Amino acid sequence: IKKVEQRSLESLVMVDALQRLGIAYHFEEEMQILLQEHLLISTFDGHLGNSSLYEASLRFRVLRQEGYFMSASSGFMTKEDSNAGYVFDPKLWKDIFGLMSMYEASNLGIQGEDILDEAADFSRRALILNVANDINGTSSQILKELVSNTWARLCDASLVEARWFTSRHSPLADEYLKNAVVSSGVHIVMVHSFAFLSESVNQHSLEMMLNNFPGISSSTGEILRLWDDLGSAKNQEGHDGSYLDYYMKENPSCLLKGARDHMKEMISDA
Q: What is the pLDDT of residues 129-164, one digit of tens each?
A: 887 776 566 566 666 777 777 788 888 888 988 888
- Rounded distance between C-alpha atoms, residue 65 and residue 70, angstroms: 10
* Coil vs helix vs strand at 79: strand
The pLDDT value recorded for residue 133 is: 73
The pLDDT value recorded for residue 235 is: 44
The pLDDT value recorded for residue 238 is: 47
Domains of the chain are: 9-129 (1.50.10.130), 170-269 (no CATH)
Q: Answer whether 250's CB lies under 8 Å from 172's CB.
A: yes
Segment 156-180 shows an average pLDDT of: 85
Q: Does an H or E element contain 149, and which?
A: helix 114-166
Q: 54-85, pLDDT tens digit by residue?
A: 888 898 899 888 888 887 766 555 555 545 56
pLDDT surpassing 80 at residue 120: yes
Q: Answer whether 108's CB lies under 8 Å from 116's CB.
A: yes
Q: 27-37, pLDDT tens digit by residue?
A: 888 888 888 88
78 DSSP β-pair partners: 88
Segment 116-140 shows an average pLDDT of: 78
Q: 204-263, pLDDT tens digit by residue?
A: 666 665 555 556 667 888 888 888 887 755 544 445 668 888 888 888 888 888 888 888
The predicted model scores a pTM of 0.49
Exposure string over 8-25, b if 16+ CB within 10 A, otherwise e: ebebbebbbebbeeeebe
- The amino acid that residue 106 corresponds to is S
Neighbour-count burial of 240, counting CB atoms closer than 10 A to its CB (0-12 exposed, 13-18 middle, 19+ buried):
middle
Going by pLDDT thresholds of 50, 70 and 90, the confidence category of residue 1 is low
48 or 127, greater pLDDT: 127
Segment 3-19 shows an average pLDDT of: 84
The pLDDT value recorded for residue 179 is: 86
